Amino acid sequence: MKIAERGNPAMRSWLDRQGLRLVAKPYLSGAFATQQLLERLTVEKAPLRELTAGYGGGVNSGPLFRRVYVSTPEHSVPFVGSKDMLVADLSSLPRLKKTDAESSSLHYLELQPGMTMISRSGFNAGRRAYVRPDMEGYWSSEDVIKVTPDQNKIKPGYLYTFLSSRFGEVLVRGGVYGSAIRHIAPDHIEEIRVPRFGEAVEKEIHELMEEAASLRAAYQSGVHQATRDLFETAGLGDLLDLRWHEQGRDLGFAQRGLDTTTLRPLNFQPRARKILRRLGEVEHVTLGEVCKGGQMSRGLRFPRVDGEPGDTYSYRLVGQRQAFWLRPEGRWISKAHTSKDVLAEDETVLIASQGTLGENEVYGRALFAAGSWRSFAFSEHFLRVRPGLAGYSGAYLFAFLRSECVFRVLRSCSTGGKQQDIHPELCAAIPVPALAGEDRERIAETVRQAHSQRDEADRKEDRALLRLEEAVAQHAGVTS
């Protein structure tokens, strides 16, 4: 007989509770041990299906459907897939045709603040995310299970905190099945039993999570406003509404004045050259000039030696895949075997600099290392951009480099075959608007404030999870 853990052998009744599924993972993943711990709680427990309301009982995913993507905001809605639901900056989401989204067959896929999203297939199956206030009016894909709490019975923030905790982690992921492509179905999580700790505790946890969601919405608004402020102050407001895909493909063009730097047609892409000419029309300095005395180079290559989880003896290693998530979950590597050069200096801009040219890939996207992110070890796959020119901060550069138009320019600087890399000489020639000092500082301060709000949101979420752990420990007679 297989053993889930010592003293906890697999039982015939387990098969009945799992619908007679004969795969091992639900029994060996820790899900049953967690269920038994929760069963010992001296509080009421209610099945998830009794705490939800809405389409399909409040726990549902959508049908397979043909996706028609549209670039014009007035005719489309932001579309959230199982990977997109994890990211911090939602400004680069694909957009679904609005008439399709609002049709009778897909209207219920609209997201509402307070919902819990659970990815239902693929590498990320079983991950959870909270629908923030700024996500109202977004649509989810069929790869996302939506859990809509009945707010007359349970507070949304508390329900999400439980599902995202270590207890919810094993209960949700214990229902994942499949080999090549992993899946989870709504009916596999409807029976999850949610402990009820009383109005005071649940309200406290809910309010912490709601505050975290509001701060993350403020972060999104802040970085967006910083970029808009920069381009409008520079007289480049027309580049904010780029509509890249409406400009036609780059076919049949001629280029003169070539040299040995590059002969690749992509590097002379007419749409990107048009952006560069427009940036060059205003007072500017080149990115290479801004970074002289600072840094504009790839990160350090280093061996990965696994370390003890935690900040005491290890760094959390963050690669391109997870760097754009709200809460990166990279592996832990030993500090004793890792150079401190893997850390990013304060206000370093990190650009994902290896990858492919797919529209939904992170290659060419920028992120900002400040606050708590300075403790992460970043892989060598990032182009590290740090200013050395007086009066130019990393926060100001981030507001510029995160824009859609500069993202397109960075991709036009690609070199390589299947895996692309950013050509350093072409990247160094990008014009950076030279605004007045007070304008640059105002924009930089907006970016700093936004990232401070993001860090504060993480702290509030951690406090909510800690409060839940304390409540479980109190009522189960164990230490968390």
- Per the model's pLDDT, the better-predicted residue between 330 and 155 turns out to be 155
State residue 19's pLDDT score: 64
Helix/strand/coil (H/E/C) assignment for every residue in 219-282? HHHHHHHHHHHHHHHCCCHHHHCCCHHHHCCCCCCCCCCCCCCCCCHHHHCHHHHHHHHHHHCC
Neighbours of 256 (CB within 10 A): 5
**pLDDT band at residue 3 using 50, 70 and 90 as cut-offs:** very low
94 phi and psi, to 5 degrees? -65, 160
What length does the chain have?
Answer: 480
What's the rounded mean pLDDT across residues 410-421? Answer: 94
Do strands 8-9 and 431-433 pair parallel, antiparallel, or not at all (unpaired)?
Answer: unpaired
What's the rounded mean pLDDT across residues 18-44? Answer: 70
Are residues 365 and 384 located together in one domain of the fold? yes
Are residues 139 and 251 located together in one domain of the fold? no
Q: Which two tokens stand for residue 309?
A: 């989880």
356 phi and psi, to 5 degrees? -115, 170
Contact 385, 401 (CB under 8 A): yes
Contact 18, 26 (CB under 8 A): yes
Question: For residue 136, is it within any domain?
Answer: yes
* pLDDT 10s digits, 138-193: 999 999 999 999 999 999 999 999 999 999 988 888 767 666 567 888 888 898 99
Are residues 270 and 416 located together in one domain of the fold? yes
Dihedral, CA atoms, 8, 9, 13, 14, nearest 10 degrees?
80
* pLDDT 10s digits, 96-133: 999 999 999 999 999 999 999 999 987 778 899 999 99
In single-letter form, the type of residue at position 172 comes to V
Are residues 148 and 256 located together in one domain of the fold? no
Are residues 306 and 326 located together in one domain of the fold? yes
Are residues 281 and 298 located together in one domain of the fold? yes
Q: Which two tokens stand for residue 416?
A: 């390589």
Direct distance between the N- and C-terminal alpha carbons of the chain, in angstroms, rounded to an integer: 30
How big is the chain by its Cα radius of gyration, in Å?
Answer: 24
Percent of the chain with pLDDT over 90: 76
Concatenated DSSP letters of 136-191: TT-EE-TTEEEE-B-TTTS-HHHHHHHHHSHHHHHHHHTT-B-SSS-B--HHHHTT
Are residues 81 and 180 located together in one domain of the fold? yes
Are residues 333 and 240 located together in one domain of the fold? yes
Closest CA to 81 of 55, 98, 108, 62: 62
Closest CA to 381 of 345, 403, 402, 356: 356
* pLDDT 10s digits, 216-231: 999 999 999 999 999 9
Q: How far apart are CA 356 and CA 368, in angstroms?
A: 21
Are residues 20 and 47 located together in one domain of the fold? no
Question: For residue 453, is it within any domain?
Answer: no
Q: C-alpha angle 358/228/278, rounded to 5°?
A: 70
Question: For residue 396, is it within any domain?
Answer: yes
pLDDT reading at 370 higher than 70:
yes
What's the rounded mean pLDDT across residues 285-312? Answer: 95
Residue 183 sits in a domain of what CATH number?
A: 3.90.220.20
How many domains would you assign to the chain?
A: 3
Q: Which two tokens stand for residue 176?
A: 């994942």
State residue 36's pLDDT score: 73
Can you give the pTM of this predicted structure? 0.91
Are residues 284 and 410 located together in one domain of the fold? yes
Question: For residue 461, is it within any domain?
Answer: no
State residue 18's pLDDT score: 61
Are residues 87 and 10 located together in one domain of the fold? no
Contact 344, 366 (CB under 8 A): no
Q: Which two tokens stand for residue 430?
A: 């990008």
Question: For residue 230, is it within any domain?
Answer: no
Are residues 3 and 93 located together in one domain of the fold? no
By residue range, what is the domain housing residue 25? Answer: 1-33
